[in-house]
């Protein structure tokens, strides 16, 4: 409407300069009458939640929050979401009739009202994350601004990402496979890439329950990452993930052994529950230690940051509480001069939602990007987005209202989990 008014004023000025005043006295009157009688939606204060629907695909929960003004919001939760349909509908019951333009208040309302229902972590928080993200998307659409603007504006336009190469250890890859995967990621334009080291079926394991690495396992780990480093050279960032499967002795040994390879970080060398163990690993190595994908809410990061247990925090925003909570975690980490690098195993909807938070905090380091975006057609089919996904290891933050990515229910339908309600 602003452009239309500007056009109207310009035309009026030109007409006034070229014709007698009387001839243009009525110029634009019809236009103004149409403006006065045009259909206007009710004000934001009258916006109300009417319904929440959801669908499940593999490890993701997708939700849509509907309102009385034909505006909806999309969100996604990951990992701790199987069997949570009725939890979504319970949240729907609590949120019906509420104004969605208060995402922080509604998040706190649902969280505190579930104090005895598991609202500290796990499925409750993962589902709440999907709801919370959809509320931000909805608010941005209603107010016609991108989510990063609602979060206080942006520090950057583009978000650096690393490619998770998906070179899964269950296939027993050799060092040459690591070199090839690293070269492939570099040739695709990525300047950072991640590899997994935990191998449950390593023939050199002591037994399937003992996660103390044998000398042969330690050598295998070093040889694999050394091959990747040699393939891409010293200026590409390499990240390594151990998925929290090993004990303290192994975590310390791997971190120390990989020091010459100059990693950006070693991720979750030990389980997430004991942050004091992380501190022991960190103190014994120059390799940066990262963790956080299995922590929930900002509370889960408080002790970790207070004692300096890790060098980098990596919450999963589709799991830890959502976008507002992600920003709170980043700001908390910033008080300790600790970089913020979100874990991300969602769809491109979740990726872009995370990107808005990464843009809105000062201490952002890097965001996870999944190689399956390039190989699995499902991920293009389940969302609507008309922009470029990634270029030269960066994604551009959407300037569209809300998150900027929409759920494609039709595309999702063929991938929906059988026997689970789908967007009802």
Taking only the tens place, the pLDDT of each residue in 305-346 is 999 999 999 999 999 999 999 999 999 999 999 999 999 999
Round to whole Å and give the CA distance between 176 and 35. Answer: 67
Identify the residue whose tokens are 């200026």.
235
3-state SS, one letter per residue, for the chain:
CHHHHHHHHHHHHHHHHHCCHHHHCCCCHHHHHHHHHCCCCCCHHHCCEEEEEEEEECCEEEEEEEECCCCEEEEEEECCCCCCHHHHHHHHHHHCCCCCCCHHHHHHHHHHHCCCCCCCCHHHHHHHHHHHHHHHHHHHHHHCCEHHHHCCCCCCCEEEEEEECCCCHHHCCCHHHHHHHHHHHHHCCCCEEEEECCCCCCCCCCECCECCCCHHHHHHHHHHHHHHHHHHCCCCEEEEECCCCCCHHHHHHHHHHCHHHCCCEEECCCCCCCHHHHHHHHHCCCCCEEECCCCCCCHHHHHHHHCCCCCEECCECCCCCCHHHHHHHHHHHHHCCCCECCECCCCHHHHHHHHHHHHCCCCECCEEEECHHHHCCHHHHCEECCCCCCECCEEECCCCCECCCEECHHHHHCCCCCCCCCCC
Structure-block tokens of residue 177: 């496979």
pLDDT of residue 31: 35
- Pairwise CA distance, residues 417 & 396, whole Å: 32
Report d(CA 275, CA 306) in Å as an integer: 10
Query: How far is residue 298's CA from residue 296's CA, in Å, rounded to a whole number?
Result: 7
pLDDT score at 374: 95
Q: Where are the domains of the chain?
A: 46-145, 149-413
CATH code of the domain made up of 46-145: 3.30.390.10
Sort strands 394-396 and 367-370 into parallel, antiparallel or unpaired: unpaired
pLDDT of residue 179: 98
Check residue 304 and give its pLDDT: 97
For strands 60-67 and 49-57, give the pairing.
Answer: antiparallel
Residue 168: per-residue pLDDT? 87
Task: Answer yes or no: are the C-beta atoms of 344 and 77 closer than 8 Å.
Answer: no
Q: Whole-angstrom Cα distance, residue 118 to residue 371?
A: 33
Query: Which residue ranges in the chain fall short of pLDDT 70?
Result: 1-43
pLDDT score at 17: 40
Q: What is the pLDDT of residue 316?
A: 98
What is the architecture of the domain spanning 149-413?
A: Alpha-Beta Barrel (3.20)
Q: What are phi and psi of 53, to 5 degrees?
A: -120, 160
387-391 LR contacts (CB < 8 Å, sep 24+): 389/348, 390/161, 390/189, 391/189
11-38 tens-digit pLDDT? 434 443 433 333 333 434 443 443 344 3
pLDDT at 45: 72
CA 288 from chain centre, in angstroms, equals 22
- The partner residues of 194 in beta bridges, in order of sequence, read 164, 239
């Amino acid at each position: 409407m602003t452009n239309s008014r500007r056009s109207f004023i310009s035309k009026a000025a030109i007409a006034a300069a070229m014709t007698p005043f009387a001839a243009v006295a009525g110029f634009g009157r019809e236009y103004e009458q149409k403006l006065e009688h045009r259909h206007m939606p009710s004000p934001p204060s009258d916006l109300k939640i009417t319904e929440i629907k959801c669908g499940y695909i593999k490890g993701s929960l997708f939700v849509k929050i509907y309102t009385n003004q034909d505006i909806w919001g999309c969100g996604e939760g990951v990992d701790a979401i199987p069997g949570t349909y009725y939890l979504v509908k319970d949240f729907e019951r609590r949120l019906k009739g509420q104004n969605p333009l208060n995402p922080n208040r509604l998040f706190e309302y649902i969280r505190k009202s579930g104090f005895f229902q598991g609202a500290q972590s796990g499925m409750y928080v993962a589902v709440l994350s999907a709801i919370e993200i959809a509320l931000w998307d909805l608010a941005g659409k209603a107010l016609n601004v991108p989510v990063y603007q609602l979060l206080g504006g942006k520090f950057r336009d583009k978000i650096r990402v690393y490619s998770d190469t998906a070179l899964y250890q269950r296939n027993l890859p050799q060092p040459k496979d690591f070199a090839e995967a690293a070269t492939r990621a570099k040739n695709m334009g990525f300047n950072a890439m991640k590899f997994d080291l935990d191998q449950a079926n390593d023939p050199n394991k002591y037994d399937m329950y003992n996660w103390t690495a044998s000398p042969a396992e330690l050598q295998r780990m070093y040889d694999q990452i050394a091959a990747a480093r040699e393939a891409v050279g010293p200026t590409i960032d390499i990240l390594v993930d151990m998925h929290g499967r090993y004990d303290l002795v192994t975590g310390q040994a791997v971190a120390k052994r990989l020091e010459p390879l100059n990693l950006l970080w070693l991720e979750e060398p030990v389980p997430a529950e004991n942050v004091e163990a992380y501190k022991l690993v960190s103190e014994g190595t120059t390799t940066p230690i990262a963790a956080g994908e299995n922590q929930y809410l900002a509370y889960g990061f408080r002790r970790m940051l207070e004692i300096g247990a890790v060098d980098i925090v990596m919450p999963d925003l589709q799991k830890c509480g959502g976008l507002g909570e992600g920003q709170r975690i980043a700001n908390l980490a910033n008080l300790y001069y600790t970089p913020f690098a979100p874990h991300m195993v969602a769809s491109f909807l979740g990726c872009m939602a995370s990107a808005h938070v990464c843009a809105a905090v000062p201490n952002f380091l890097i965001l996870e990007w999944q190689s399956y975006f390039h190989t699995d057609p499902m991920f293009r089919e389940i969302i609507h987005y008309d922009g470029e996904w990634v270029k030269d290891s960066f994604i551009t933050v959407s300037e569209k209202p809300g998150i900027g990515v929409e759920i494609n229910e039709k595309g999702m339908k063929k991938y929906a989990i059988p026997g689970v309600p789908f967007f009802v």
